[in-house]
Chains A and B, each alone.
Chain A
Amino acid sequence: MLNKTRLAVALAAAFGPALPAMADQPQTLPDVVIQDTGPALNNAPGSLRNEIIKTESVDAKAIERSNASNLTEAVDNRPGISIQVECSVCNVRNISLDNMPGRFTTLLIDGIPLYSSVSSAYGLDSVSVDGIERIDIARGAGASLIAPEALAGTVNIVTKRPIESENIFTAEVGEYGDHRGSAYLAKPFSGGALSLTADYREHDSVDGAGYGISQYTGYQRSMGGLGYFLDDVGGFKVRGRIDLVHEERGGGPLGNDYGAIEGDTTGNPFNFSAGPHGSPDPSGWIEPDTGTIVPYTAGAAGLAQIITTDRQQGTMIAERNLDGGKLRLAAGIAHHNQDSFYGSDATYTGDQNQYYLQSSYQMPLGSNLVTLGADYRSEDLSSTGVTADGHVNNGIDDYTYRDPALFAQLYRTFLDNTLEMNASVRVDNHNVFGTITSPRLNLLYHHNDAYASRLSIGRGFRAPTSFFEQEHGILSDNYIVRQIDKPETSDNLSYALSYSSDRFSWVGSANYNRIHNFAMLIPGNVDGSGLTYTLFTSAPDPVTIRGIDWVGTYQLTPGTAVSLGAEGYKYDFTPGTLAFVRPNERAYLNVDSRLGGWDLSAKLTWTGPQDLARFYDYAGTQQYNLDGTPKPDRSPAFSVLDVRAQYRFNKRYTAFFGVNNLFDYQQATRDSYLWTDAAGNLDVTHIWGPNIGRQIYAGIRASL
């Protein structure tokens, strides 16, 4: 039988990250008053949230320790979680879970899916971590009932509800023109609370090898947000947030005088002789087939990528108790605009609108907790563009998706609550891909107070999108031929065993992910009229990624904790499907120490060799250095160490100082990001290591 507390927990557990905030709301029972804060401290590597689905959390303290100002910086370098940079000039960053492609990770804002492949390309760098309580990361399909496209898992940002007035200001300066200022203002009032966040950060573009071509993209980024919480609106508890983002980023030529860069279209301002295996001639590079020099004459603009992003989004969640159950209504709206200049390729403007509506009702039914719900998702992309040779290809990657869905979920416990089960099914009626059914099953078994096992089996689907950032070659083509009639689907199985005691906790997991109908965009085809087009199709063979990982934290002394982690992966894929290189092994060592007013932390990440020849498909297209020699088949292993010290003077003032990449390990000084094919065509996507070297920063935080 479910008692009241159990029911409160079950409400959260049954939904998992899909409706995560249920666990965060005060639960009012007739005889006692309870606030379920969620165990606030389970943020150490090796800790899981108390949920049936394996969920790791990065809380505000851990975010502060990583000195992150945005989502991608906050979640990087944890077992099974990494940030993948997919372009050395524009620094598109994806969050990769279980080393799956970033498009299979779904970002949720308080449980609401409002990010697509369009908004994730540059948008993840503009997801603020100011004013949030934590980031929940659930790996594996079936992680979310309302985001079936999360074939690799979900990342859910949970907004902090203010419970006291706070005015927190942070100022930071660092090398490479890194300046940041942020503010978090919070005010609770009778019947609710408000929070305001503002964040500005700028950073120079950085070239570590002397080409005059950046590996780290510069930017100026402004983010603002309003969080609102109303405890009783016609019986509903309402909360939500509004976010505004404006970002300009520029890579390729150094500097941020973007007007001058776009206007410089002749000659060669770069030094192609710099760096490892540099060209014998600074004004161009060797064409491997002939051994002759390919001169570069397109000016600063030729290698420039300048992208302006504007985003506005709003979410609202309303919940109330009704007839012994809980009614939940949720809505989200987002407008995302990307205005891009790709010097040698094209200009491109993408405009996207997304809408989301959800209604669900959760009720006890005998010994079960049952949820029935419906949601509706709408996603449009409308683009305009001009190719480098002046051809207008407006709307080349446009798409319109409408996806109404029904879902049902059953949660119950067995064996005196030691075994918890959550089974669900979701049926989508997609306007392009038809009816799709996604089942999932999650089990949590508490062996005893210390050990627990979690088993998840799930299937998800993702409607592939034609957005050009997945294949820049689209920009040079005239149209896209869609030979794709099936969504990408996944089979996922994962098992995790966790242990926790007062001083030691660890979790080990094994994950199996198989993607069917892996979507591919193949540009450069020529039709009968001589026009080039991109083929949008599915890979005939599935992509399979298997992984195991283990991470644990030991409280060595009263103030010092040491964390160790390791992961290993195996990939089964047809070359050309997984387009960016991934490691087979990674290992992690973290030390966090509290000593009086000092907070010290060190984070070491070791990445094993990576199979460049296989992932970059050398068999299909051999990659060459600028001196005409072949690129290496494997990358070397490398380590990155970040250290940070923070001193708390008093309740009001804290100062911090840190060094990222203390060993100053950079890929660019060992193996250039630039490469050519046999015909001497230049590209910027030979990426396997850190794109910025040692960086010192310092700052102060005031709580007034």
Chain B
Amino acid sequence: MIARQLLAAAWLVLFASPAAAVDMELPTVNGTAFFRLADARPGPVVVNLWDTACPFCMREMPLLYQSAKAHTDTLFLGIAMGSAGEALDYLESHPSPYPHLLGPRNPGSLLRRLRDPSGALPHTVVLGPDHSICTVRTGGVDSAWLDAAIRKCSASH
């Protein structure tokens, strides 16, 4: 048992990623430009992974729109994990107050960085001002959770 714990600890020391700023470089949903998070202004960031094929994602989208309008000092980012065409259709009929990116063709690395290795949706990550992960929620969010998370992460360093 002790040997196993020692081995696990050694493994973590050697290979586990330290808590670090999250970066990503993804195309915008309309395919016109790359967006690199490191180039964004410092400050808290709400990253929401969604897909038009995910009813729970669609259900919480109006809430995220509302929250983005209320928290103007926080960067909101949507990452569409499905097809670009369907995401564009949705965004045309539901104009968003914040930018939306297209998930990578192989999303494994991004999902692990955003602590969603299974790819479960919806998935929301709130980054602190230094863009390190502050809190994570897999599943639908509500306004109370979102407000509390933004408050907490805006203050974190």
Q: Which residues of A contact B (CB under 8 A)?
A: 5-6, 8-9, 27, 29, 31-44, 46-48, 50, 61, 163, 414-416, 418, 446-450, 452, 498, 500-503, 505, 553, 555, 557-559, 561, 594-595, 648, 651
User: Contact: A37 with B11, CB < 8 Å?
Assistant: no
User: Contact: A34 with B121, CB < 8 Å?
Assistant: yes
A46 to chain B, nearest CB (A): 7
B80 to chain A, nearest CB (A): 9
A130 to chain B, nearest CB (A): 17
Best-surrounded residue of B17, B106, B118 (most CB of chain A within 10 A) = B106
A42–B83 Cα distance when bound, in Å, is 11
User: Contact: B15 with A418, CB < 8 Å?
Assistant: yes
Q: Mark B23-51 against chain A: 1 for CB-CB distance below 8 A, else 0.
A: 01111100111100000000000000001
User: Contact: B104 with A505, CB < 8 Å?
Assistant: yes
A88–B84 Cα distance when bound, in Å, is 40
With contact pairs A40-B51, A447-B15 given, residues A9 and B117 touching in the complex (Cβ less than 8 Å): yes
Pick from B32, B82, B85: contact of A41, CB under 8 Å: B82
User: Contact: B81 with A37, CB < 8 Å?
Assistant: yes
Pairs across A and B, CB under 8 Å, 22 listed: A29-B139, A32-B137, A34-B122, A34-B139, A36-B120, A37-B51, A37-B121, A38-B119, A39-B107, A40-B53, A50-B108, A50-B117, A50-B118, A415-B7, A416-B16, A418-B15, A500-B104, A500-B107, A503-B25, A503-B104, A505-B104, A558-B33
User: Contact: A449 with B17, CB < 8 Å?
Assistant: yes
User: Contact: A42 with B107, CB < 8 Å?
Assistant: yes
User: Contact: A558 with B111, CB < 8 Å?
Assistant: no
Q: Which of B71-110 contact A (CB under 8 A)?
A: 81-85, 89, 102-110
User: Contact: A505 with B106, CB < 8 Å?
Assistant: yes
Chain B residues whose C-beta falls within 8 Å of the C-beta of A559 in the assembled complex:
27, 31-32
Write the chain B residue with the least CB distance to A60: B83
User: Contact: B54 with A47, CB < 8 Å?
Assistant: no
Write the chain A residue with the least CB distance to B111: A39
Chain B residues whose C-beta falls within 8 Å of the C-beta of A40 in the assembled complex:
51, 53, 81-83, 103
User: Contact: A42 with B108, CB < 8 Å?
Assistant: yes
User: Contact: B105 with A42, CB < 8 Å?
Assistant: yes
B63: CB under 8 A from chain A? no
User: Contact: B106 with A500, CB < 8 Å?
Assistant: yes
A651–B92 Cα distance when bound, in Å, is 10
Q: List 12 additional contacts besides A163-B53, A449-B113; criterion CB under 8 Å.
A: A37-B51, A39-B107, A42-B105, A50-B111, A50-B118, A61-B83, A416-B11, A500-B109, A502-B104, A505-B108, A561-B105, A594-B84
Chain B residues whose C-beta falls within 8 Å of the C-beta of A498 in the assembled complex:
108
User: Contact: B8 with A415, CB < 8 Å?
Assistant: yes
A557–B7 Cα distance when bound, in Å, is 43
A418–B8 Cα distance when bound, in Å, is 10
With contact pairs A558-B27, A558-B33 given, residues A35 and B105 touching in the complex (Cβ less than 8 Å): no
Chain B residues whose C-beta falls within 8 Å of the C-beta of A648 in the assembled complex:
85
Pick from B33, B84, B105: contact of A555, CB under 8 Å: B105
Chain A residues whose C-beta falls within 8 Å of the C-beta of B139 in the assembled complex:
29, 31-34
User: Contact: A41 with B104, CB < 8 Å?
Assistant: yes
Pick from B27, B82, B138: contact of A5, CB under 8 Å: B138
Best-surrounded residue of A40, A163, A448, A561 (most CB of chain B within 10 A) = A40
User: Contact: A558 with B31, CB < 8 Å?
Assistant: yes
Write the chain A residue with the least CB distance to B12: A416
B56: CB under 8 A from chain A? yes
Chain B residues whose C-beta falls within 8 Å of the C-beta of A505 in the assembled complex:
104-106, 108-109
A47–B119 Cα distance when bound, in Å, is 14
Chain B residues whose C-beta falls within 8 Å of the C-beta of A44 in the assembled complex:
105-106
User: Contact: B106 with A41, CB < 8 Å?
Assistant: yes
With contact pairs A9-B118, A32-B140, A416-B11 given, residues A502 and B31 touching in the complex (Cβ less than 8 Å): no
User: Contact: B104 with A594, CB < 8 Å?
Assistant: no
A586–B84 Cα distance when bound, in Å, is 31
User: Contact: A36 with B109, CB < 8 Å?
Assistant: no
A47–B107 Cα distance when bound, in Å, is 9
B146 to chain A, nearest CB (A): 13
A5–B121 Cα distance when bound, in Å, is 11
User: Contact: A502 with B25, CB < 8 Å?
Assistant: yes
B148 to chain A, nearest CB (A): 15
With contact pairs A37-B53, A39-B108, A502-B26 given, residues A418 and B118 touching in the complex (Cβ less than 8 Å): no
Write the chain A residue with the least CB distance to B137: A32
User: Contact: A595 with B108, CB < 8 Å?
Assistant: no
Chain B residues whose C-beta falls within 8 Å of the C-beta of A416 in the assembled complex:
8, 11-12, 16
B157 to chain A, nearest CB (A): 23
User: Contact: A594 with B31, CB < 8 Å?
Assistant: yes
Write the chain A residue with the least CB distance to B93: A651
User: Contact: A47 with B53, CB < 8 Å?
Assistant: no
Chain B residues whose C-beta falls within 8 Å of the C-beta of A34 in the assembled complex:
56, 120-122, 138-139
B61 to chain A, nearest CB (A): 14
B62: CB under 8 A from chain A? no
With contact pairs A27-B120, A33-B139, A34-B121 given, residues A555 and B56 touching in the complex (Cβ less than 8 Å): no
A414–B12 Cα distance when bound, in Å, is 12
A50–B109 Cα distance when bound, in Å, is 10
A501–B137 Cα distance when bound, in Å, is 23
A27–B24 Cα distance when bound, in Å, is 28
Chain B residues whose C-beta falls within 8 Å of the C-beta of A37 in the assembled complex:
51, 53-54, 81-82, 119, 121
B143 to chain A, nearest CB (A): 15
User: Contact: A449 with B109, CB < 8 Å?
Assistant: yes
With contact pairs A559-B27, A651-B89 given, residues A48 and B105 touching in the complex (Cβ less than 8 Å): no
Chain A residues whose C-beta falls within 8 Å of the C-beta of B121 in the assembled complex:
34-37
User: Contact: B106 with A47, CB < 8 Å?
Assistant: yes
A498–B73 Cα distance when bound, in Å, is 38
A47 to chain B, nearest CB (A): 4
B151: CB under 8 A from chain A? no
A498–B103 Cα distance when bound, in Å, is 18
Pick from A36, A414, A557: contact of B118, CB under 8 Å: A36
A594 to chain B, nearest CB (A): 5
Write the chain A residue with the least CB distance to B54: A35
Chain A residues whose C-beta falls within 8 Å of the C-beta of B31 in the assembled complex:
558-559, 594-595
Chain B residues whose C-beta falls within 8 Å of the C-beta of A450 in the assembled complex:
109
Write the chain B residue with the least CB distance to A595: B31
For the complex of A and B, 6 pairs with smallest distance between CB atoms: A32-B139, A558-B27, A505-B106, A44-B105, A47-B106, A559-B31
Best-surrounded residue of B111, B118, B137 (most CB of chain A within 10 A) = B118
With contact pairs A44-B105, A46-B106, A448-B17 given, residues A8 and B118 touching in the complex (Cβ less than 8 Å): yes
A498–B104 Cα distance when bound, in Å, is 15
